[in-house]
Structure 1
Amino acid sequence: MFSSKRRKPYLIPVILACAISTLLITLIQVVFFSDDSNHLIFHQNLHVNYEQSSPSLSPISNSFDHDNEFRSGNESESQSCQKNDFYQVKLQEAESELDNLKKQLQDNNPTGKSNYKIGQFHYNSNDIFNYDIGKGEPSFHRFMSEYIDFYLKHKQTIMHPMREYRDYSIYGRPEKVNIEEYGRSDPEDPLSEETLRGFLKNPKELVEELTRNHKIITDAIPSHAPFPFYKGNGYILAANGLYVWQALLNIEVFRALGSKLPIELLINVESESDDTICNVILPKLNARCIHMPTVFGADVMSKIKFGAFQFKILAMLGSRFQNVFFFDCDAMPVRNPDYLFEWEVYKSHGMVLWPDIIKRTTSPDMFKIQGIQVEKEIVRHVADVFTDPKYYKLDKKDEDINWERDVNFHDRKGALPDWSTGGGAILMNKYTHFDVLLLTLYYNLDGPFGYYPLITQSGPGEGDKDTFAFAAHFYNRPYYQPPRPPHYLGVGIQCFESEPVSDFEKLQEAVNDIKVKMERGEKYDYLKMFHDKIEYPNREFLFYHMHQPKWDPFRFMREKMTLNDKGEDQRLLGWMKDVMDLELVCYANMYHDICEMEYQFTCFEGHSQEEKDAICGFLKHRMEWLDDNTWDKKFKGYSYAKFVKEVES
């Protein structure tokens, strides 16, 4: 390109100046003159066509063809190498200057004018190890590190004063707030704006700070994942300590039901892991353990201490699957859920959630923080979002309605529909709902003394459960949630959640029936026409969420939890027809793992030798009693040892 006879010494700084200028101009064009649609295309291209990116002077490429750019055709090889070394140094300096400029732009313009999006600068195909987040990917580490850095700059500094409301009871919820039963006895029990504002008092300064931070965070969240690692379908669970054991029981249930899809188990740190489970048992079941330090990197782990309610979102982010089905360790399926990945309602919505037992108790301030206007207009009745509102409007003229007192707040346009959302299972397409996942993580990072008091106002199950729905609501992303709360059954706190396909079919029947009756002039009756049509026993179930007690066989034996007041055997999970006998299968699996295989599990190391000697007799008796008293013909006489051989073959 340049002849050695014609090259002048002063051309060297000119060439370097041009190279640096090109770098800076390219960056400024990307940062200041790209709009949101360009960012969307940018992220889509990275996701779909990542490996085909060519070396260029762009913010995402660290690959330069130095030899062709600067080599003279008449130079000797040694002269060329010497000059290339010189130019390499200068170009590295230019790249360093570019990186400094990027940092300055991010620090000075985190949102707004710079159109900054988390992760927009960092990715090139040379950085990818094996397209497997679970084995550690530097690009994903940097993305999460950037996300956490950005959050830490904009985390809340004003804490919700909810400690003043706590009585430190066994439930740890406010004494002054009595919202336990809303919707349980009467689904039409109204929760007006006035009632909701009376639960917890939210400091004005807190609401203002969260409003500012929410805008900054959501402006910076990319709409799609800026890396190509999410592929395929699969399940993810998250656990530590004893819950790793419970996760094993859950995974064994998946396989007993015939599930074929891969399963991942995210464990916080390796010290909380179990070698027997991770290295011996799970590999035989097309499942594996992944560990947070490997998935998210040491930098992220050193910057922030994650709590239990962030664990679920991190598991979904760190799973390698694009379509990921999260299950709590204590949420066990009673039907094979593999078919739901192909369900048309899921494909069209991109996310399926399951409801909780009570109505939403969200503070109106939450919608203010999100920048969503809740209007003076009724658009639904409880969970019936389908029937024309003219059939159930209040017997008042609009001008006579006291909107703060007379109307169920979550029936109004702009609010989130009832019922509240549970957290036992979540099915999500991370390509269409990646921004929802990142916003959900933010809600949970600032959750305990920020968003949790706003979303549930210290109601039952306070934590991550409603945050997915609120993130989807903010981004106007579709999702499907069955319209009826779970059905409680058994000893302790146990509930069955709906099988959504049959539930959706019954919902369609109810809606069509209501339409016909309304056209005939009948009066709208929510309980008879809608609620009861899809209530138990007219429902089928997908999974059992066992809040208490957890699956600890030593505790069951020690506290005699499997016996009733008369000292007789009883079922902890109740009696349920037409689904797997979950209790029978779990006891058979526990007997196989602990007694037949004599696996040594970390979580049981502290038990006395006397308890260890007695546990096999307890498990065998329990398994035989359940088998003699089962409704489940398919799993009567179930042998896990035989099942394992079938799986391995």
Structure 2
Amino acid sequence: MISIRRSRTIVLPVLLFSLTWLLFSGRPKWLHHPSFAATNGTSADRIPPSPFHPGLVDFWDATASALVAAKPDCSLPTEPIEAPLHDFASLKKGFDFRPDLLAIPQQDVDKMRDAHARFVAQIPELAHKLPYAADTRGIAVAASGALLPVFLVSLRMLRRTGSTLHVEVFMESRKNYEQEICEIVLPPMNATCMILSEILGAVPQRLEMSRYQLKALALAFSSFDDVLLLDADNLPLEQPEHLLTSEPFLSTGFVSWPDYWANTASPKFYEIAQQPVPRTSERAATDAGQLLLSKSKHAPTLLLILYYNYHGPTHYYRLLSQSPAVLQGDRETDKETYLAAAMSLNASFHTVRTPVATLGYTQVHDKQFKPAGMVQHDPRDDDYGKTNNNVLGSSKELKATIRPAFLHANVYKTDASEMHEVFNDQIRSQRMWGKTKDMVEQFGRDVEKQVWAEMLYTGCHLEHAFGAWRNLSHVCKKIGRVYKFLYN
């Protein structure tokens, strides 16, 4: 009996210690398993409400009704079209050729102009309803599902710059909510999950919006006054705070960045918006991977952005691009709607004059250069932005004078579950954005190595956290093998 009692006095404390250690020393690996996540926090009654501004439902109630009431009473032609592309940097000043490829009957142009005018007439009243926290700054991103791992890499790169800006990441609906990411991973990095359907579904007029349209909603529904709208695959290279607290943003309240190409909007769009047709050489097409907007200065512009995007897939995306697809991506997107809205209302804006620069790699087997990233520049340096050179590294003067602000990873997404395959099959065992020496010279650090380190982090520490990776295996092992090859 004495030996039995002694064993109990030893075993019970050990058992209690073991249980305590499991609970408080860190989450055991089985807590990361998808089956656990699916049953412990993703049901509707376990999802906490998004911290939207209290007045947002009333604003959207009125705005949604106005958007529907001003629907164009016509359809656009659906046959394939392809506007000719002109490299904007090589255009001569005064070049004004603008193709008119959409065969829209004049009566339909008139209908669209009347619908546009009806909505514009309601903008002043709707703009007064737009809610936001005055004198605040932050970042809005639309990302969920397969974009969530990509966004997390961008977020971690943002924090590497020293930025402390609050980030609101917008998800389409409650089915996109991911408990571990939203409640454990993001809050320490000052980021918050926002569920768009909480507002979209709270009003009688239920509008269906998805894909590119969600960016306009993220911009409108964000709680900030001064907003950086950022794509999930866009990597800040400096603290965005500096861009929001200096010229040209302070005076204009609106800053956009250029794409490679000249704008190819149909001249009929300008007739509909009742604006003069600008010369093609006046400004480039827009890279909407990043955008700065002040709601206190541009609430009317934001309303018209919503109008162009709600009616975008059926009308305005095609009017503003005249092209179904070209090169590496779909051009009928939201990208031209933001600047078009400001121009249609004669609002103030600044478009960055420094051309987009290209990052890439030279293929081993054929020595061909392959683009793999877009670098956008600091608008504060635009006094110097007069060069037409748009290949990073070819102008020492440009490198020394104009600061890079964003790296848009528009070719290879920074997803640890996919990059190991891209690396082996397409990049063929080499870096994707150039040599280490060149990158350090351009950015003051090896940005590509930092991005791979963040992909390694997401692949190994969050391998079982993302819903998009639920059926994948060995993400950590595969991305680790690539990282070791490159940097160890």
In 2, the alpha carbon distance for the partners of 1:470 and 1:178 equals: 18
Does residue 578 (structure 1) correspond to residue 483 (structure 2)? The answer is no
The answer on whether the counterparts of 2:182 and 2:193 sit within 8 Å (CA) in structure 1 is yes
Instruction: Describe the SS at the equivalent of 2:417.
Output: helix
Q: Are residues 552 and 472 of structure 1, via their aligned partners in 2, closer, same or farther at CA, if it must alter by over 3 Å?
A: same
Q: 1:481 maps to which residue?
A: 351
Residues 90 and 388, structure 2, Cα contact 8 Å, conserved in 1: no
CA deviations 1:187-221 (Å, max 9, x no partner) are 2297545x522x33233232111100011000001
User: Structure 1 residue 275: deviation in Å?
Assistant: 1.5
Mapped partners of 1:440, 1:278: distance in 2: 28
Q: Distance in 1 between matches of 2:464 and 2:252?
A: 43
Contact 1:140–1:296 under 8 Å retained in 2 = no
Distance 1:596 1:147 in 2: 42
> How do 1:50-449 residues align onto structure 2 when only pairs under 5 Å count?
134-136=50-52, 139-161=55-77, 163-164=78-79, 166=80, 174=81, 177-180=82-85, 182-183=86-87, 186-188=90-92, 192-193=96-97, 195-197=98-100, 199-222=101-124, 224-226=127-129, 228-231=131-134, 232-299=136-203, 303-374=206-277, 409-410=279-280, 417-449=282-314
Name the Cα RMSD after superposition.
2.8
Select which of 468, 482, 486 maps to 1:622. 482
Partners of 1:492 and 1:549 within 8 A in 2: no
CA displacement 1:173-194 (0-9 Å, x = unmatched): x3xx2523x125732297545x
Deviation at 1:445, TM superposition (A): 1.4
Counterpart residue identity of residue 467, structure 2: T
Task: State the shift of 1:601 in Å.
Answer: 1.8
Paired position in structure 1 for 2:417: 554
**Structure 2 residue corresponding to 1:545, chosen from 398, 408, 413:** 408
Residue 67 of structure 2 aligns with an amino acid whose one-letter code is Y
On the 8 A contact 1:562/1:572 being kept in 2, the answer is no
Between the aligned partners of 2:414 and 2:64, the Cα distance in structure 1 is 34
- Shift in Å, 1:562: 6.7
Matched, 1:462 2:332: yes
In structure 2, distance between residues paired with 1:214 and 1:493: 38
Counterparts of 1:598 and 1:418, CA distance in 2: 44
Tell me by how many angstroms 1:361 deviates.
1.3
Task: State the percentage of identical aligned residues.
Answer: 25
Q: 1:155 to 1:227 in 2, by over 3 A?
A: closer
**In the superposition, relative to structure 1, how do residues 542 and 527 fare at CA in structure 2: closer, same or farther (>3 Å)?**
closer
Amino acid at match of 2:404: F
Q: For 1:237, what is the secondary structure of its paired residue?
A: strand
Match of residue 69 from structure 1: none
Q: Which amino acid aligns with 1:570?
A: Q
Choose from 299, 317, 324 the match for 1:452.
317
Displacement after TM superposition at 1:352 (Å) = 0.8
Q: Secondary structure in 2 aligned to 1:289?
A: strand
Alpha-carbon displacement from aligned partner over 1:595-638 (angstroms, at most 9, x marks no partner) = 2465522110012xxxx23x33332233344446xxxxxxxxxx
Cα distance change on mapping 1:535 and 1:303 into 2, 3 Å: farther
Q: Deviations over 1:393-452 (max 9, x none)?
A: xxxxxxxxxxxxxxx8346xxxxx311111100111101101101101101111223222
**Contact 1:563–1:570 (CA under 8 A) maintained in structure 2:** no
Report the alpha carbon displacement of residue 468 of structure 1 after superposing the two structures with TM. 1.1
Counterparts in 2 of 1:571 and 1:222: CA distance versus 1, 3 Å? same
Q: Measure how far apart 1:505 and its partner are.
A: 3.2
- Displacement of 1:227 after TM fit? 5.3
Contact kept, 8 Å, 1:330 with 1:546, in 2: the verdict is yes
8 Å CA contact 2:247, 2:380 repeated in 1: no
Runs (5+) with no aligned partner, structure 2: 1-48, 361-369
Distance in structure 1 (CA, Å) of the matches to 2:290 and 2:334: 12
The answer to whether the 8 Å contact 1:335/1:542 transfers is yes
TM, length-normalised to structure 2:
0.78
The reply on whether 1:496 has 2:399 as its aligned counterpart is no
**In structure 2, C-alpha distance between the alignment counterparts of 1:262 and 1:369, rounded to whole Å:** 38
1:496–1:151 distance in 2 versus 1, CA, 3 Å:
same
Shift of 1:228: 5.0
Question: Normalised by the size of structure 1, how large is the TM-score?
Answer: 0.59
Between 1:305-314 and 1:460-469, the stretch displaced more is 460-469
CA distance in 2, matches of 1:240, 1:192: 40
Separation in 2, partners of 1:205, 1:191: 30
User: 3-state SS of the aligned residue for 1:355?
Assistant: strand
Q: Deviations over 1:106-149 (max 9, x none)?
A: xxxxxxxxxxxxxxxxxxxxxxxxxxx94245632122122111
Residue 241 and residue 136 in structure 1: after superposition, are their counterparts in 2 closer, same or farther (change >3 A)? same
The count of corresponding residues between Structure 1 and Structure 2 is 414
Partners of 1:186 and 1:261 in 2: CA distance? 37
C-alpha offsets along residues 1-53 of structure 1, whole Å, 9 cap, x if unaligned? xxxxxxxxxxxxxxxxxxxxxxxxxxxxxxxxxxxxxxxxxxxxxxxxxxxxx
Amino acid at match of 1:282: L
| Contact 1:316–1:326 (Cα < 8 Å) also in 2 | yes
Find the aligned partners of 1:620 and 1:248 in 2 and give their Cα distance: 18
| Greater relative contact order, per chain length (Cα 8 Å cut-off, separation 6+) | 2
Structure with the bigger percentage of strand: 2
Q: Which has the larger radius of gyration?
A: 1
